């Protein structure tokens, strides 16, 4: 029997993953503090799953230097280490399914790692369908004019290899690049 993959959540769009959800659509200042605090504590207790070679950056461009470079898991879900930052600093509220899962846990799961964790199987299909609570979109800043302009320079000179991808991915990337160009025009 093949293992059930972990369900990806909290991975945000970028130039390399333009089809992922935008965190701006998940901002909800009315989220009750006790439930948010419970979700924050839960996310911070995640078990390390993968470590990457570079840190992520805040998609709101706040300049937070400690976003993390790992993926965490509870054995059911997988999320980036920096996801707690979005809840704490930017009032991002996760979908009801995730919050329901967190609230239903009597304690953080400590069972032995599942086979999906051992093989790093990750299913992003559900997360790709999430739109958030509002129609807001972020300006997709890297955090500074210099970083954004360097990104555009590298893209315009074909110095970034995105590998094989769908037309939908290319179109979403074109839209993101237009937002960046407009911001610094």
pLDDT at 114 over 60: no
The pLDDT tens digits for 142-177 are 667 888 889 899 999 999 999 899 999 999 999 989
Spatial contact of 25 and 13, defined as CB atoms under 8 Å apart: no
Listed residue (81, 83, 85) closest to 62, CA to CA: 85
- The CA-CA-CA angle for residues 60, 66, 68, to 5°, reads 95
How many other C-beta atoms can be found within 10 angstroms of the C-beta atom of residue 101?
18
How many other C-beta atoms can be found within 10 angstroms of the C-beta atom of residue 97?
13
Angstrom distance (rounded) from CA 143 to CA 3 = 39
Counting residues of the chain whose pLDDT is more than 70, the rounded percentage is 91
pLDDT at 92 over 50: yes
CA atoms within 13 Å, Cβ hemisphere of 56: 26
Q: Write down the pLDDT at residue 96.
A: 95
pLDDT at 116 over 50: no
Angstrom distance (rounded) from CA 68 to CA 65 = 8
Contacts of 21 (CB under 8 A, 6+ apart): 12, 13, 127, 128, 130, 131, 132
Listed residue (139, 157, 152, 149) closest to 13, CA to CA: 139
Q: Is residue 72 very low, low, confident or very high in pLDDT (cuts 50, 70, 90)?
A: very high
N- to C-terminal Cα distance for the chain? 55
Q: Write down the pLDDT at residue 179.
A: 86
Q: What is the mean pLDDT of residues 25-50?
A: 94
pLDDT at 8 over 60: yes
Angstrom distance (rounded) from CA 13 to CA 176 = 9
Q: What is the mean pLDDT of residues 63-90?
A: 92
Counting residues of the chain whose pLDDT is more than 90, the rounded percentage is 54
Q: Burial of 88 by CB count in 10 Å (0-12 exposed, 13-18 middle, 19+ buried)? A: middle
In eight-state DSSP terms, residue 48 is: E
Q: What is the pTM of this model?
A: 0.86
Spatial contact of 50 and 70, defined as CB atoms under 8 Å apart: yes
* Token duo for residue 73: 């898991």
Report domain extents, the chain. Answer: 6-128, 145-183
Listed residue (130, 71, 121) closest to 99, CA to CA: 130
19-23, 25-29, 110-114, 117-121: range with lowest mean pLDDT? 110-114
């Amino acid at each position: 029997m093949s293992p059930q993959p972990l369900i990806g959540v909290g991975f945000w769009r970028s130039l390399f993953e333009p089809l992922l959800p935008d965190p701006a659509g998940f901002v909800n200042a009315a989220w009750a503090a006790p439930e948010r605090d419970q979700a924050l504590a839960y996310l911070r207790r995640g078990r390390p799953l993968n470590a990457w070679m570079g840190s992520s950056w805040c998609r709101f461009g706040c300049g937070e230097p400690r976003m993390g470079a790992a993926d965490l898991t509870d054995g059911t879900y997988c999320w980036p280490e920096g996801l707690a930052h979005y809840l704490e600093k930017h009032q991002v509220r996760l979908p009801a399914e995730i919050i329901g899962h967190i609230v239903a846990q009597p304690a953080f799961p400590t069972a032995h790692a599942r086979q999906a964790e051992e093989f790093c199987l990750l299913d992003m299909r559900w997360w790709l369908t999430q739109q958030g609570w509002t129609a807001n979109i972020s300006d997709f800043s890297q955090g500074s004019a210099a970083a954004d302009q360097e990104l555009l320079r590298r893209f315009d000179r074909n110095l970034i290899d995105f590998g094989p991808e769908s037309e939908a991915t290319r179109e979403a990337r074109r839209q993101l690049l237009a937002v960046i160009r407009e911001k610094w025009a």
